[in-house]
Amino acid sequence: IIPTEVFIEGTMRSYTPEVRDLLELELKKAFSIVENLGGSYSLHVERGEPALNNHSVVNRWITKTVSEIYPDFQIVKKPFGLGGEDFGYVSQKIPSSLFFLGCAIQDGVKRELHTPIFDIDEACLPIGTAILAQTVVHFLNGKVSLSANEMLEV
């Protein structure tokens, strides 16, 4: 039996708007094949949140601050991944950095983000506050800054 209608749904994610555009174009090309076979298609792409791109200079500020006030902390540098995060809207407009503190409750249970059992060790909240506050103090005291060219990197 050949169905008269097919519905396909999925998620596309990318690190840049240019790749998002390319993915959409490639989808249109792939689906247009049905027109050569006498069919038709309708494509609706909902963009969702933009990729979250941390600003390299702001990342360095935060890394410097962590090293100063928490010298024994391990700093793990790796890509955020392709999860949806509305902070991406902020990072499109101003130099920004989203970082993880590593606040897992140490009981062997994985409490992933966006799950019904998500939870954190709230003792880490003052640590995050101290990192952000000290980074701002460095900025206000002129110990860290952004050049006009670096501001344009957003």
pLDDT digits (tens, 9 = 90+) for 53-108: 888 899 999 999 999 999 999 999 887 777 678 888 998 888 999 998 989 999 99
pLDDT attached to residue 144: 81
Q: Given this model, what pLDDT does residue 136 score? A: 93
Q: What is the pLDDT of residues 26-46, one digit of tens each?
A: 999 999 999 999 999 999 998
CA distance 114 to 81: 15
- The reported pLDDT for the residue numbered 35 is 94
- pLDDT for 23 equals 94
Predicted confidence at residue 53, as pLDDT, reads: 83
Determine the pLDDT at residue 123. 94
Q: Does the pLDDT at position 11 exceed 90?
A: no
Higher per-residue pLDDT: 1 or 84: 1
Find, among 99, 108, 100, 105, the residue nearest to 122 by Cα.
105
- The pLDDT, as a whole number, for residue 52 is 84
The pLDDT of residue 154? 66
Q: How much is the pLDDT for 88?
A: 87
- The residue among 44 and 113 whose pLDDT is bigger is 44
Tokens representing residue 75 in the block: 């700093």
Q: Show Cβ contacts of residue 8 under 8 Å, excluding neighbours closer than 6 positions.
A: none
Residue 129 DSSP SS3: helix
